[in-house]
Structure 1
Amino acid sequence: MTQKGGRRGPLRADKRYSSSKQTAGKSKSQTPPKTRNRRPQRPPRRHGPVVGTILGLFRLIWRVVWGIGWRFSLVVALVVGAATLYFYSTLPDYTKLLDGRTRGSVTMLDDHGKVFAWRGETFGGQIDAKNVSPWLRDAVIATEDRRFYHHFGISPRGIASAMAINLRAGRGPFDGNGGSTITQQTAKLLCLGVTYDPKTWKNESAYEADCRSGGLRRKIKEVPYAFALELKYTKDEILSIYFNRAYLGAGARGFEAASERYFGIPASNLDPQQAAMLAGLLKAPSYYAPTNSITRSQERAQTVLTLMHDQGYLNDRQYIDARDNPATLSQTAQKQAGGYFADWLMDTLPSYLTRDTTEDVVIHTTLDQRIQSAAEEAMQNVFDDKVSKDSEAQSAIVVMSKDGAVRGMVGGRQTKVTGAFNHATMAQRQTGSTFKPFVYATALDLGYTPGSMVDDAPLTVKMPGSPDWSPRNYERNYMGPISLTTALEHSVNVATVRVSEAVGRENVIKVAEDFGFAQDLPNLPSVALGVGESDLLDMTGAYAGILNGGSSVQPYGLTSLTLKGDDQPLFGKPGGIGERVISQKAAQELVYMMRQVVLHGTGRRANLDNYEVAGKTGTTQSSRDAWFIGFTSDYVVGVWMGNDDNTPLKGVTGGGLPAEIFHETMKRVMDGQPAQPLPMADPSGWQTQDSYQGQSQQSQSAGQQPARQRRDPSASILKELLGIFGAR
């Protein structure tokens, strides 16, 4: 722009904006638009070199762990998935998994056809979770797995809780409580699909132990198998497998068998308290079994009822009613009768039909539960009232019919047990004076009478190559000439040895063995005093032969054996009356003599009002064993007492506590039974030979005796004694 006068002024830039506007414009162009309520940004935090290094290290470690972790998790998921699919492909229809026993069962029926014992694993038949008592289903779920219908096979919460409990108890995290769901428990019951193979496992117990083992490795294997079960079956089907395969004590496999075993009813009829008792057994079947301790089982059931109430399965009224009326055993289960008897049968029958059976076997037996209970009560009564509390003495009782049928058996002081040592069948003990009737049976069969005379005087028997032997009487005195009846009545030792040697020791041994006494009796003069050994069952059977008229018996407890569902028995009774041993006349004379033992002799404590009783006492050297065996017209009862370590009894003889146990047993057995006379001879026809003279102080064995022959009934035993011993 040119000014007037031709002068050009200085050049200047145009001011388009005022200074204030320029500042505003500048600020507006350099500062971003402000956002409402936006906080001003903090300047980046600067760390020192040490802290920065540490943080960087942690970031690196996290990246490494995360990188490895998700890859490892992916591999584990793939492995578990593959294992689950494999197990899924191997699972059959669930109905094929309901009966998981590797062995069959043995059910024993008494002489009236009622069940009294089970052996092996009893299976009550297949049941369905939908058909059992609703109380049972609720009790099991409330106790074992309250989230059963909501989880997918495992419960991480339950496992974590169980690990915490184990650690607090000082155990390893996987030792003790496992936190297993019902599905996992079912997987364990199925042994993770591993079937029993005799070639692989030492026995079934080893197989079962492996199936039930715990630990981390086992838990890891259970997971895919549990997933497979959940994929393959419905919840109710899994529960059905569990209900059928769970072991519930007393040989009961499955809730149906347990319900029948303990309560005598099917599982569909269980009430809340019964269902709670069965559900409580799952924790420890043998420990909580009501047949072991009804009190302990009821206490466990109370815990289950509380869980059912807390989880809403029982209302207040139902809970109080169940709590105040605890479940009890059925009458059959309460009796627990015949445990020793059942064990005896299991030991005597073929193992492939008992302990190793793969079938369900039914055995009809000779056991009379009334008689069995009578023997158990008698044993308990005498030990409670007349035996010192600190005594460790044992006792046994056998009750038998005269044909050898065993009606009751108690094998020890603890009467209601199974699997215990049976003193009635397993204890081989010296028989003492209970052997003497076989000596007199031989003499009577050879023609002597109960009135024949024998000299009870000092006696020495010489044996070639052995020291002389002089028997002594229990009372340390001598009675002189006495009848055979008196000798047996008072259990006179010297007179009995004299008779044995007179009639022939070999004959006595043969008669005893033919009656069923133990074999291999020692051929010694002392055999007449019972130095040979036998068990109570055989001795009672030998006395049954005397009662039945002189024929041997083979004791038996089985009448028939069938497979469950079959009508035709596989075989019948293995015993009974056998061949004749002595004449009926001799047997009846011996019964008369044994009757005098009870009336006037050493067995007076065994006598029974209103019933005729005959028998014989026995006490071995130093009172290590005490016996009484006797009979009425219908039953023979044998009683033994002694210590397991064979130490002497204190103040016990056969005519004492054993005779009293016999009395208490027979009193209960015969209660209400009609009185029948004993089959004994009439003594009026005998002529007592009271003219016996002489004192035999020493004798010499005649060596080998001739075979037993029938002698003239009128012959005097005096001649025999003088001939053999050479009385001086």
Structure 2
Amino acid sequence: MKMTKKKKPYKKKASSKKSFKKRVIILFFKVGFVISLICVSLILLIIAYYSSDLPNIAQVYEFKKQPSFTVLDRNGRILANYGDLQGRDLKFEQIPKTLIQAVVAIEDRRFFEHQGVDVWGIIRAIYRNKKAGKVVQGGSTITQQLAKIAFLTPEKTFKRKIQEALIAIKLEKKYSKKEIMRLYLNRVYLGKGNFGVDAAAKFYFGKYIEKVSLYEAAILAGMLKAPSKYAPANNHELSIKRAKQVLSAMEEENYITHTDIKKAIPPLIMERGNARGALQNPYFSDYVIEQLPLYLTANNQDVKIYTTLDLNLQKRLEEAILENMKNAKSKSNASEAAAVAINRRGEIVALVGGVSYNKSQFNRATSAKRQPGSAFKLFVYLTALENGYSKESIVIDSPIKINKWSPRNFSRQYLGEVILEEAFAKSINTVAVKLSESLGREKVINTAGKLGIKDKMKNLPSIALGSEVTSLLDLSGSYSIVANGGYNIRPYAVLKITDRSGKVLYLNKNNSYKKVISDSANQQIKHMLAKVIQNGTGKKAHIAGAEVFGKTGTTQDYRDACFIGFTDYLTVGVWVGNDDNTSMKRVMGGGLPAEIWKDFMKKNVEKNHGTIWKKVENIGNEKKSNSIMNFLSSVFNKKEKGETIDSIIEKNTKK
């Protein structure tokens, strides 16, 4: 029987399958290779395209910011800073180790390992964001952040992200990790106009960066994510919460222990550091910045503005207002107050624009236009004294009617014949109006303009009673002219302006004064102003042992009340009222404003010049026969030229 060979029926098909799989795998690799080649080519093309306009990374040391204006007091102490502030150019060794660790832990944990772009960091960020369902972590490295703030705009575009990565890689090749970290922390924005950790430490904590605590370092590092959101001055609670997250991240990285966290104490003062200056209520510095265009026509550089302010007097004036206004709202429906102090040279040595700068930045001393009331009578009576009247001239206090208007006296009584001095001291309305009408309103308006009232005034009969508006600063400046012997010394706030190198850009010479009040009229009006306090409407401003001068002002329906007064060395104007122009509860210029004035002036006399009153008694009989205030006036004049009060008195005593 013939044997037949068995067939292998499926061998050919199996071989065919293997061949097909092999071809598919080869095709897959070929396609993959082509796709990879295309992708690489596209990436190279994109890199080449976006590399064409990359900046020179050597420019990383250049820093462009808005000009800053540093306002200083007369002794060179910083009152306030405006514009962008940049801290010192710190070396890496100056930056606290805890701050660097905090920044690395919360911002870029692989900073010292990656080469500018952290792929694993990006993957980790994507995973955590997806798990949280929101963006909780970013993928940018510190080097990329430096690239962004040094060279790029904050716009979120594909081009910017590519260029950010490319610049970061170039930075890593050229600079060390220490240099990159140093540059970043010197440059990064940390809210409130502060650039760099040094500026931020001064602003938020009032200390140099070398002195920050662990908790303060955590707060600064926590702000990097969103400065406006996590700045302690903006949101104290959120800032602390963020700092705790930073501390936890530091613990995870073994930079600190849990015990270190327990020992860390949140800083108590974080809302205003020394970087912004000593003024807690910077109405004065705001006014100075507003005046800057008068002194500098154009400016694109950092400048220092040396001003006339005396910080000690400023604090006392603020204290006097706060103390007297503490319960004024509930008692008298008076919610606001303002004051300005001007020395013999016309320098504004103190200025308060309101009760609380935090609640309202509106400057009521310089910008508010309010009715001066009877304080305007100064111009009426000066006009009279310059046109034939004297303080002893007899005038008639009786009803007067002009067209349909009839002014009334506050007392609702009429005294008949009175001398000018008495009418002024008692602030008799009918006499002021009669004088204004007989002299001519235009003359009164001209006198006011000559003494510094810049506001345009309507020619109305009521102008004699202060119905036209002006600022407290201008009104106080007018009284300071009387205090200074009748010379048109205008109030000013700026002594000089320099650039950062010390080059003088502006210098206030202010040494040319014109006589605008005759000696006779000036002496008589001063005498009359003294009588206002001695036995007139300003009795509450009396200071025992001191010769003071002043005038009260109260407007219709008690909407405004002011007191403007002076000694031989200082003029101070005080206003009280409400921003919405509502009436107060019978608050008059001789009341609350005069009390504020006295509290400030009394402290000033006692603290700065109290020894004079005792030392004057030691001066010989011949000296005693002269006016004490004339002598004191010469003392203060000499003191302002650099000589001490004690040495002047000692010299005069020996004589």
The answer as to 2:265 corresponding to 1:358 is: no
1:259 alignment partner in structure 2: 201
Aligned residue among 26, 29, 40 for 1:74: 40
Aligned residue among 354, 372, 379 for 1:412: 354
Gaps of 5+ in 2: 18-24, 614-626, 631-655
CA distance in 1, matches of 2:265, 2:173: 39
The answer as to 2:469 corresponding to 1:528 is: no
**Residues 577, 391 of structure 1: alpha-carbon distance in 2 compared, 3 angstrom cutoff:** farther
Q: Which moved more, 1:669-678 or 1:631-640?
A: 669-678
CA distance in 2, matches of 1:100, 1:538: 42
Q: CA deviation at 1:118?
A: 0.8
Which amino acid is the alignment partner of residue 609 of structure 2? P
**Residues 103, 547 of structure 1: alpha-carbon distance in 2 compared, 3 angstrom cutoff:** same
Q: CA deviation at 1:669?
A: 3.8
2:76 alignment partner in structure 1: 113
Q: CA deviation at 1:342?
A: 1.2
Aligned residue among 315, 325, 329 for 1:373: 315
1:92 alignment partner in structure 2: 57
CA distance in 1, matches of 2:255, 2:577: 55
Q: CA deviation at 1:293?
A: 6.9
Q: Which moved more, 1:215-224 or 1:142-151?
A: 215-224
**Residues 605, 146 of structure 1: alpha-carbon distance in 2 compared, 3 angstrom cutoff:** farther
The answer as to 2:123 corresponding to 1:181 is: no
Report how many residues are paired.
Answer: 598
Aligned residue among 380, 395, 410 for 1:454: 395
CA distance in 1, matches of 2:231, 2:320: 27
CA distance in 2, matches of 1:299, 1:333: 25
1:340 alignment partner in structure 2: 283
**Residues 257, 352 of structure 1: alpha-carbon distance in 2 compared, 3 angstrom cutoff:** farther
1:129 alignment partner in structure 2: 92
Do 1:431 and 1:531's aligned partners in 2 also have CA atoms closer than 8 Å? yes
Aligned residue among 406, 419, 422 for 1:486: 422
Q: CA deviation at 1:516?
A: 0.6
Which amino acid is the alignment partner of residue 398 of structure 2? A
* Secondary structure of 2:553's aligned partner: strand
Could you list the per-position Cα deviations for residues 608-664 of structure 1 after superposition, in whole angstroms to 9, with x for gaps in the alignment? 455443222222233332222222332222222333343434443323333333334
So what's the TM-score if we normalise by structure 2?
A: 0.79
2:479 alignment partner in structure 1: 543
CA distance in 2, matches of 1:164, 1:405: 64
Which amino acid is the alignment partner of residue 456 of structure 2? D
Could you list the per-position Cα deviations for residues 647-691 of structure 1 after superposition, in whole angstroms to 9, with x for gaps in the alignment? 43444332333333333433444441225799989xxxxxxxxxx
Gaps of 5+ in 1: 1-11, 14-21, 32-40, 45-58, 193-210, 462-466, 682-728
Q: CA deviation at 1:405?
A: 0.7
Which amino acid is the alignment partner of residue 659 of structure 1? A
The answer as to 2:369 corresponding to 1:428 is: yes
Q: CA deviation at 1:241?
A: 2.6
Could you list the per-position Cα deviations for residues 256-306 of structure 1 after superposition, in whole angstroms to 9, with x for gaps in the alignment? 333344555543444434433433443444555556677775665455444
**Residues 509, 184 of structure 1: alpha-carbon distance in 2 compared, 3 angstrom cutoff:** same
**Residues 341, 245 of structure 1: alpha-carbon distance in 2 compared, 3 angstrom cutoff:** same
Q: CA deviation at 1:527?
A: 1.6
Equivalent residues in 2 for 1:132-143, closer than 5 Å: 132-143=95-106
Q: CA deviation at 1:130?
A: 4.2
Which amino acid is the alignment partner of residue 113 of structure 1? G
Q: CA deviation at 1:406?
A: 0.9
**Residues 460, 72 of structure 1: alpha-carbon distance in 2 compared, 3 angstrom cutoff:** farther
Could you list the per-position Cα deviations for residues 523-574 of structure 1 after superposition, in whole angstroms to 9, with x for gaps in the alignment? 33222111222111111111111111111221111111111123x4222126
**Residues 115, 472 of structure 1: alpha-carbon distance in 2 compared, 3 angstrom cutoff:** same
CA distance in 2, matches of 1:390, 1:297: 40
Which amino acid is the alignment partner of residue 378 of structure 2? P
Equivalent residues in 2 for 1:38-437, closer than 5 Å: 70=36, 73-74=39-40, 76-82=42-48, 85-86=51-52, 90-93=55-58, 96-151=59-114, 152-154=116-118, 155-157=121-123, 159-160=125-126, 163-164=129-130, 167-168=133-134, 178-192=138-152, 211-214=153-156, 219=161, 222-263=164-205, 265-286=207-228, 289=231, 301-315=243-257, 318-323=260-265, 335-337=278-280, 339-350=282-293, 353=296, 357-388=299-330, 393-415=335-357, 420-437=361-378
The answer as to 2:600 corresponding to 1:665 is: yes
Q: CA deviation at 1:495?
A: 0.9
The answer as to 2:576 corresponding to 1:633 is: no
CA distance in 1, matches of 2:287, 2:173: 48
* Secondary structure of 2:113's aligned partner: coil
Which amino acid is the alignment partner of residue 84 of structure 2? E
CA distance in 2, matches of 1:545, 1:77: 77
Could you list the per-position Cα deviations for residues 219-277 of structure 1 after superposition, in whole angstroms to 9, with x for gaps in the alignment? 46544444444444433333233222222234322223333445555434444344334
**Residues 410, 84 of structure 1: alpha-carbon distance in 2 compared, 3 angstrom cutoff:** same
Could you list the per-position Cα deviations for residues 17-53 of structure 1 after superposition, in whole angstroms to 9, with x for gaps in the alignment? xxxxx9xxx99x999xxxxxxxxx9xx9xxxxxxxxx
CA distance in 2, matches of 1:379, 1:345: 21
Q: CA deviation at 1:506?
A: 2.7
CA distance in 1, matches of 2:517, 2:79: 38
Do 1:628 and 1:639's aligned partners in 2 also have CA atoms closer than 8 Å? yes
Could you list the per-position Cα deviations for residues 338-361 of structure 1 after superposition, in whole angstroms to 9, with x for gaps in the alignment? 51111111111228959x733221
Do 1:505 and 1:523's aligned partners in 2 also have CA atoms closer than 8 Å? yes
* Secondary structure of 1:581's aligned partner: coil
So what's the TM-score if we normalise by structure 1?
A: 0.72
Which amino acid is the alignment partner of residue 343 of structure 2? S
RMSD over aligned CA atoms reads 4.0
1:699 alignment partner in structure 2: none
CA distance in 1, matches of 2:30, 2:560: 81
CA distance in 1, matches of 2:353, 2:141: 43
Which amino acid is the alignment partner of residue 417 of structure 2? P
CA distance in 2, matches of 1:105, 1:361: 7
Q: CA deviation at 1:217?
A: 7.0
CA distance in 2, matches of 1:421, 1:515: 25
**Residues 184, 457 of structure 1: alpha-carbon distance in 2 compared, 3 angstrom cutoff:** same
* Secondary structure of 1:593's aligned partner: helix
Structure with greater helix percent: 2
Percent identity among equivalent residues? 37
The answer as to 2:382 corresponding to 1:444 is: no
Do 1:397 and 1:639's aligned partners in 2 also have CA atoms closer than 8 Å? yes
**Residues 366, 147 of structure 1: alpha-carbon distance in 2 compared, 3 angstrom cutoff:** same
Q: Which moved more, 1:519-528 or 1:570-579?
A: 570-579
**Residues 625, 326 of structure 1: alpha-carbon distance in 2 compared, 3 angstrom cutoff:** closer
Do 1:554 and 1:576's aligned partners in 2 also have CA atoms closer than 8 Å? no
Q: CA deviation at 1:581?
A: 1.5
Aligned residue among 438, 441, 451 for 1:515: 451
* Secondary structure of 1:559's aligned partner: strand
